[in-house]
Amino acid sequence: MTATSLVRLIAFLLLAAFITMPQGFAFLFEPLIAPGAPAIYNQGSLLVLTLQHLRTVCLATIASTVLAVALGIFVTRPSGAEFLPLSRSLVNIGQTFPPIAVLAIAVPLVGFGEKPTFIALFLYGLLPIFENTLTGLTQVSPLALEAARGMGMNARQRLVQVELPLALPVILAGIRLSVIISLGTATIGSTVAAKGLGEVIIAGLQSNNIAFVLQGGLVVALLAVLIHDGLGLVERVAARKLGRFLNEVP
């Protein structure tokens, strides 16, 4: 086991221990609190809030991936090339408006809770996946496509068996970026009553309890690092199976 792998394993074990048995870490946060204040977030389960946070991010990322990849495929076909500017404008909506503005617009339409947060994360996650899908598909070697045609593959078979597999590592990189953005952005969902780790941070800000703020921030940060590394590993495995590295242009 390499030193990096060991550090990741230790970080994962510490995170798992903290969200399942947070009281065991109270001594670390006691110097940060006022006399009589709780050292560990006590208005809900950190484990439940973490799972709910991840659930919202996961659902939004799946929805973003389906739409962004579908749009990327469509605009790289001859019949859809003219819709590229329109598609770019659509996926840029989430980046144009701050997530808090999307929440403000979504709440009157769908109410408080997880739904407006899902909408904000969905819109915010479209751009990196769409752009990486475009990059991956447009960089597929013409020689590979010509060879596929020579084997008698039709357009659908070339897409499924040649283009998407070759573009997969680049698409995965876009999904990884989208997930990391969503993990941090999801914390603001607690301002509209969505369950998640933002609830811990907001509770700390409202009660002037630095320990709560630090706990919420550390859990989100560790999740981001671990998920970033995990998805990066998936990308490298996919690249090796295709006989190329992520930084190579096909």
Spell out the domains of the chain, with CATH numbers in brackets: 46-241 (1.10.3720.10)
Output the tens digit of pLDDT for each of the chain's 250 residues.
677 778 888 888 999 999 999 999 989 898 888 888 898 998 889 999 999 999 999 999 999 999 999 999 999 988 888 898 888 888 888 778 777 888 888 888 888 888 899 999 999 899 999 999 999 999 888 888 888 888 888 888 888 888 888 889 899 999 999 999 999 889 988 888 788 899 999 999 998 999 999 999 999 999 999 999 888 888 888 777 766 533 443 4
DSSP secondary structure, the chain, as one string: --HHHHHHHHHHHHHHHHHHSGGGGHHHHGGGS-TTS-SS--SS-HHHHHHHHHHHHHHHHHHHHHHHHHHHHHHTSTTTGGGHHHHHHHHTHHHHS-HHHHHHHHHHHH-SSHHHHHHHHHHHHHHHHHHHHHHHHHTS-HHHHHHHHHTT--HHHHIIIIIHHHHHHHHHHHHHHHHHHHHHHGGGGGGGT--STHHHHHHHHHHT-HHHHHHHHHHHHHHHHHHHHHHHHHHHHHHHHTT--TTS--
